[in-house]
Structures are given as C-alpha cells and as structure tokens.
Amino acid sequence: MNKYELCVVVSAKVEDEQRTATVDKCKEYITRFGGTITDVEDGGKKKLAYEIQKQKEAYYYFIHFDAEATAPIEIENNVRLMEDVMRFLCVRQDEA
C-alpha cells in the first residue's frame, strides 16, 4: 500500500452542505477503489492565484489515504466529472 494525498479545490459558490457532500463523495470514491482514509484536512477558503471559472476564491481540502497503485487513476477519473470540483491533484507521498 502506498500513501497518497488528494487535494480538492471546491467552488466557493456552493452552500456548506453541498460542499460537504462533494468532499464526502470524494472520500466515497477513495474507499470504493480500495483506499483507506487516514486524515482529512480542511484548508479553508483561500484566494486563488488566478481566476478559475470566473471565481477568485475557493475551498481547499486535503484527503490523505493509503491505497494500491491503481487506485489514484480510478479516483481521478471520477473526481474529474464532479461539477463542484474546480481543480484536483492526487500525489504519492514519500516514505520518510
């Protein structure tokens, strides 16, 4: 099992409960593809470096999980289709 971090940038235009549902859906994808969530960090609302979809702010979430090497591809393919997710990035963390 490898350690991964999924960073999800969620639109600031959505309501709190819809934003929570979006993050829960991301967590559901991780568990569906065999991952084990170890930590979820709420990065809060931050100013974007550049406008995305005519928005200047967004909410950041960092989901840490353990999974096999094939899981991130499947997770990314599903997160990519989510309407409220503006950007995402899944990276493998080094064993330190």
Helices (H), the chain: 16-32, 71-79
Per residue of the chain (96 residues), what is the pLDDT tens digit? Answer: 899 999 999 999 999 999 999 999 999 999 999 999 999 999 999 999 999 999 999 999 999 999 999 999 999 999 999 999 999 999 998 876
> What is the SS3 string spanning 70-93?
CHHHHHHHHHCCCCCEEEEEEEEC
- What is the residue extent of each domain of the chain? 2-87
Reported pTM = 0.90
Residues 14, 85: contact at Cβ < 8 Å? no
For 2-87, CATH gives 3.30.70.60
Burial per residue of 32-54, b for 16 or more beta-carbon CB atoms within 10 angstroms, e otherwise: ebebeeeeeeeeeeeebeeeeee
Distance in angstroms (rounded) separating the CA atoms of residues 6 and 63: 5
